[in-house]
Amino acid sequence: MLFFVPTPIGNLLDVSLHTLMVFNKCQVILCEDTRVTKKLLTLLLRNDLIQQYYPNINPKEKQFISFHSHNQEDFLKNVGKDFFTQDIAFCTDAGMPNISDPGALLLRYMREHSIDYEVVLGGGAFSHAFVCSGLEGAFYFGGFLAHKQHDRQRYLKSLLEYHNEMHIILYESPKRLRESLGDIALIMPHSTLFIYKELTKLYETEIIGTAQEILNKLPSSIKGEYCIIIQKDSKNLSSETSNTQQILRLNQDDILALDIQPKQKAKLLAQVSEKSIKEWYAILTQR
């Protein structure tokens, strides 16, 4: 039997009794990062109640096996069905498996091979952030944005089609947060954003404003993953022509004021002017 197990996204007290019961009974744990899961069980065991009622979660008594996006296909090709005759827990570093994390391929394998499995109920950063925002109604969860700016902008433009009907929830890494907010400022300049960091932790952070306003509020050093909620905007239109008009709402001065790297800024400026990216980059680096 395989259990898909949620883990706390921050505060360890959010761990469920069901999760503790699974960790307590399973000797084998498939996990995204063995170091992270070992640390989680070690910290949980420091709680007196957990130590009393779930003593078998001790990581010293477990077998941890790495299962992540880079090795999952090879793992499933080589593993036999007999491996799953024992009780096994599968978890990612934080939150629910399968949601912007590994797990979907594993679940399909279990289903295709008629192997018993159970998905333990749990929460994630995107649902918690949505509750914290105070918004209501339908939302679209898009996971992590693309790494490349061209792909990211094309995707954000496609979201305009139904942005007038639902909120948009995205994840972003600290490395690309400024660039992604710059793209949102270009494509959805008047939309209200809610961004969250360190959810459920001591230093949980919420920033509300337009993408450009939030860029101006960001600290110089950005750490940790962020959850971005873009509030629905009934003023957004869905046609391709309207998309172009929406993008052109920011002028050169607006883009020049964005707190993003010269390379990204040059790409944006080239879209609203007759100068090339190369010309704009030369201008920006000489300022």
Question: What pLDDT digit, counting tens, does each position of 204-233 carry?
Answer: 999 999 999 999 999 888 988 999 999 998
User: CA quadruple 185, 186, 190, 193: dihedral positive or negative?
Assistant: negative
Report how far residue 283's alpha carbon sits from residue 287's, in angstroms, rounded to the nearest whole number. Answer: 6
Mean pLDDT of the chain, nearest integer: 91
Give the distance, in angstroms, between the CA of residue 63 and the centroid of all CA atoms in the same chain. Answer: 28
Q: How confident is the model at residue 46 (pLDDT cuts 50, 70, 90)?
A: very high
Report how far residue 113's alpha carbon sits from residue 116's, in angstroms, rounded to the nearest whole number. Answer: 9
Report how far residue 144's alpha carbon sits from residue 170's, in angstroms, rounded to the nearest whole number. Answer: 6
β-pair type (205-209, 193-197): antiparallel
Q: Are 97 and 90 in contact (CB under 8 A)?
A: yes
Q: Which residue has the higher pLDDT, 241 or 60?
A: 60
pLDDT beyond 70 at 235: no
User: Looking at residue 95, what DSSP letter applies?
Assistant: B
Predicted local distance difference test score (pLDDT) of residue 49: 96
Predicted local distance difference test score (pLDDT) of residue 240: 44
Of the candidate ranges 53-57, 111-115, 233-237, the one whose mean pLDDT is the lowest: 233-237
Please give the domain boundaries of the chain with CATH numbers for all domains: 2-119 (3.40.1010.10), 125-230 (3.30.950.10), 252-285 (no CATH)
